[in-house]
A and B are shown apart, each in its own frame.
Chain A
Amino acid sequence: MTTMTIAKAINEGLRATLNKNPRSLLMGEDIGALGGVYRVTDGLIAEFGADRVVDTPLAESGIIGTAIGLSLRGYQPVCEIQFDGFVFPGFNQITTQLAKMHSRSNGNLTVPVVIRIPYGGGIGSIEHHSESPEALFAHTAGLRIITPSNPHDAYWMIQQAVDCQDPVIVFEPKRRYWLKGEVDTETPGASADPFKAHVLREGTDATVVVYGPLVPVALAAAEAAAEDGHSVEVIDLRSISPIDFDTVTASVQKTGRLIVAHEAPTFGGIGGEIAARISERAFHSLEAPVIRVGGFHMPYPVAKVEEDYLPDIDRILEALDRALAY
């Protein structure tokens, strides 16, 4: 076991991938000498050279598009998109090309491209640097979407993403890059399947489903609720596409109440999808409507007011109160 930050864990995961897989390579803006704006690729160009840690022109469609071409030639590119709000110039390549290539080739072609996107707010940044666009990608068949919430998962999930033969988007919770935790670099243990949700805290009164940056927030809310005598189960979804509905369903069948929280706006979001599925799968177990906690239907607000926008402990507790009132 080693203690490291999420950023360092991804760095180590990428290093392990580059070492074991000679056809893997990294591509992105400023990922070479600078080591990425978040230093996630720090030191890798010195170790693996400019052919495998590729500083690209400043063009997101070009990054994703050339990664698709490299994967058609048998390479496994890992693309870094510098910030969530800058993925959109590459949106066409991701949704019309990358997601569909296997299907439209009748299974003849595979494009195992990985796209890393630092996402979410809470860092006091300027516009386009704090967004959570995961639902836009989750709606596209052919893609897989995962998001680690701790260093151990971060270390293993980036490697599992590269090993996966489908395209995978890894949403990295940027405000948790410096969160420290224990990493077992020998074995993934319970994190062997990146598409499986984890029950992080068991409870009996209500279930709170979260992922990425809100995991520590939900755990803190559950702790606060316990002081008020409420037993809250916390699930880290880990995978946004596919979603591990079996784990969520089993939890709701036990607790009877479900709250889903994410930074992304609630309208048309992952929380709505989970609410609908759970109402289909566990209708008779539900003691209350599924309650969503999330961003508002507005462009991500300016940094000085982002605290009013982002779900926090109190917003989750308020939702819990409403659920328990039924």
Chain B
Amino acid sequence: MGATHLPSTEFDGTEMDDQLEAEAEAQLGAPAEPMVQLLGPDGTLGSDPVFSKYAEKLDPDTLRGFYADMAKIRRFDVEATALQRQGQLALWVPLTGQEAAQIGSGRASQPQDYIFPTYREHGVALTRNVDLAELLRQFRGVSNGGWNPKDTNFHLYTLVLAAQTPHAVGYAMGIQRDQKLAAANAASAEAGQAVEPNAAVMVYFGDGASSEGDVHESMVFASSYQAPVVFFCQNNHWAISVPSSVQTRIPLANRAKGYGFPGIRVDGNDVIAVHAVTEWALEQAREGNGPVLIEAFTYRVGAHTTADDPTKYRGSAEEGLWRAKDPLARLEKYLRAEGLADDTFFEQVKADGDELAAYVRKTTYDLETPDIRTAFANTYVEAHPLVAEELAWFEEYSAGFADAETAQATSDPAQAEQTDRAAQ
């Protein structure tokens, strides 16, 4: 890095493009920067001086659970994509390829933690017990939210890129204040009173969103106040059609150093490593050691959304390279090799996935279209004269159509004939 990357005086755009492309390719093969990896693509478990101890805590049930979750959310992704293709959803944002990054990090969070997703975190939603059919409300066009974040501590999806990152930091600043208030109260209260567990915040964003100013401002605030927040960046390599090399010339995790807190790049296709690193980072935050940035190095195997066509901007060889690093395949290899799961288990996982898909399909069809009156009701918390006036107008206007329908019904010839007969 450094001066060699500065454009020369003979700089022209094509050269730059070629250079970026070459770098992107180099980056895709094997990242030169250190990256935490425990479970390799071949399914063998390696070691790490800091994070192995977190992996060692994982019992067979938990490991099987990771696999089941990843398989479930991939099956859900397939079903949602099909629903979009069949006209049942306006849009779908697929996550295939990012299952380990999402399940590993989501499973590392505690119920008292609060999670701010962007809009692709269906896997994290699963780990937070969000009803996946509720999650489809937004994509079916019947809600801009869909679930109540207070039920699961999983915030609404945010579509304006990175806008949720300062919300996460503010929420974490609130946790800090709550802890001080609780400490003050505990000092004056009787001993033996239940103590709320420490909480942290985790906020998701991508390599594309990392360029947004809100990420920068959030990291400045988080660092200044040592807020208990984990920035979880899924570097899936593509911001729609633009490679991550256009967003950053250095590994994204390295940016944390500039803000004064730890940044870790983890193999985002290794669910065990993602879980370990996230568990560590959340512990750091909960214990008052300030923020952590995690860069999960992963890949969006599918399109950005169902409106996208990746063949226009990237080669299939690249996709093939990443399919070989598939997060499910490597965990399956490991579970089988260690004798932790057999065919019966994997068949059951598949059956559970199909059951979930059927449930999601059925509930999608059943999702009720809201009445626009709910939009009038939810614009403000407190009574608002303009909203009341416009609603009153709308009611009167709508009632006019109802009257017209009644009038039309009475002028219907068949009905008129009937009336005539009755009169005779």
Please report A residues at the B interface, Cβ cutoff 8 Å. Answer: 22, 25, 51, 56-57, 59, 61-62, 64-75, 77, 89, 92-93, 96-97, 100, 102-110, 112, 141-142, 144, 164-166, 195, 241-246
Contacts and interface: CB of A to CB of B under 8 A. Distances in A.
Q: What 9 A-B pairs are tightest by C-beta distance, nearest first?
A: A69-B170, A65-B166, A73-B174, A66-B170, A62-B217, A104-B144, A69-B171, A165-B381, A69-B167
Contacts of B170: 65-73, 77
Residue in A73, A141, A241, A243 with the greatest tally of chain B CB atoms within 10 Å? A73
Nearest to B180: A51
Contact of A62 (B114, B181, B218, B384): B218
Contact of B145 (A56, A77, A105): A105
Contacts of A195: 385
B144 to A, nearest CB: 4
Contacts of B176: 51
B254 to A, nearest CB: 21
A159 to B, nearest CB: 15
A195 B178 CA distance: 33
29 contacts: A51-B180, A57-B224, A59-B221, A61-B166, A61-B214, A62-B169, A62-B218, A62-B221, A65-B218, A66-B169, A68-B166, A69-B168, A69-B171, A69-B172, A69-B174, A72-B174, A75-B174, A93-B166, A97-B158, A103-B144, A107-B377, A108-B148, A110-B381, A112-B381, A141-B379, A142-B379, A144-B384, A165-B381, A242-B385
A103 B379 contact: yes
Given A72-B171, A104-B145, A166-B382, 20 more contacts: A51-B176, A56-B221, A62-B169, A62-B220, A65-B165, A65-B166, A66-B221, A69-B174, A72-B174, A73-B114, A73-B170, A73-B175, A75-B174, A92-B214, A93-B163, A97-B163, A106-B145, A164-B382, A166-B380, A241-B386
Interface in B142-181: 143-145, 148-150, 155-156, 158, 160, 163, 165-178, 180-181
A97 B167 contact: yes
A164 B382 CA distance: 8
B375 interface: yes
A102 B169 CA distance: 20
Given A61-B214, A65-B214, A70-B173, A103 B165 contact: no
Q: How large is the interface on B (under 10, 10 to 19, 20 to 34, 35 or more residues)?
A: 35 or more
Given A92-B160, A107-B378, A66 B149 contact: no
Contacts of B160: 92, 96-97
A69 B169 contact: yes
Interface of B: 114, 143-145, 148-150, 155-156, 158, 160, 163, 165-178, 180-181, 213-214, 217-218, 220-221, 224, 374-375, 377-382, 384-386
A315 B31 CA distance: 68
Nearest to A104: B144
B174 A242 contact: no
A247 to B, nearest CB: 11
A67 B173 CA distance: 9
A109 B378 CA distance: 10
Contacts of A105: 145, 148-149, 156, 378
Contacts of A107: 374, 377-378, 381
Nearest to B219: A62
Nearest to B385: A242
B335 to A, nearest CB: 39
Contacts, number: 144
Contacts of A59: 217, 220-221
A22 to B, nearest CB: 8
Contacts of A51: 176-177, 180
A165 B382 contact: yes
A103 B156 CA distance: 12
Given A57-B220, A65-B163, A102-B378, A108 B145 contact: yes
Contacts of A243: 386
Contact of B178 (A25, A73, A244): A73
Contacts of A108: 145, 148-150
Contacts of B173: 66, 69-70, 73
A203 to B, nearest CB: 25
A106 B143 contact: yes
Residue in B145, B155, B217 with the greatest tally of chain A CB atoms within 10 Å? B217
A6 B148 CA distance: 41
Given A59-B220, A103-B144, A65 B167 contact: yes
B221 A74 contact: no
Nearest to B201: A69
A106 B221 contact: no
Contacts of B168: 69
A242 B386 contact: yes
A266 B384 CA distance: 25
Residue in A71, A103, A106 with the greatest tally of chain B CB atoms within 10 Å? A106
B102 to A, nearest CB: 22
Given A51-B180, A61-B166, A65-B169, A109 B384 contact: no
Nearest to A143: B380
Given A61-B214, A107-B378, A242 B384 contact: yes
Contacts of B180: 51
A57 B221 contact: yes
A165 B174 CA distance: 18
A92 B175 CA distance: 25
A102 B380 contact: yes
Nearest to B181: A22
A93 B158 CA distance: 12
A27 B312 CA distance: 47
A85 B80 CA distance: 45
B379 A102 contact: yes
A96 to B, nearest CB: 5
Nearest to B374: A106
B327 to A, nearest CB: 31
A71 B149 CA distance: 14
Contacts of B163: 65, 92-93, 96-97
B178 to A, nearest CB: 7
A246 B213 CA distance: 43
A107 B149 CA distance: 11
B167 A72 contact: yes
A106 B381 contact: no
A67 B214 CA distance: 13
Contacts of B217: 57, 59, 61-62, 65
B171 A62 contact: no
Given A65-B217, A97-B160, A109 B149 contact: yes
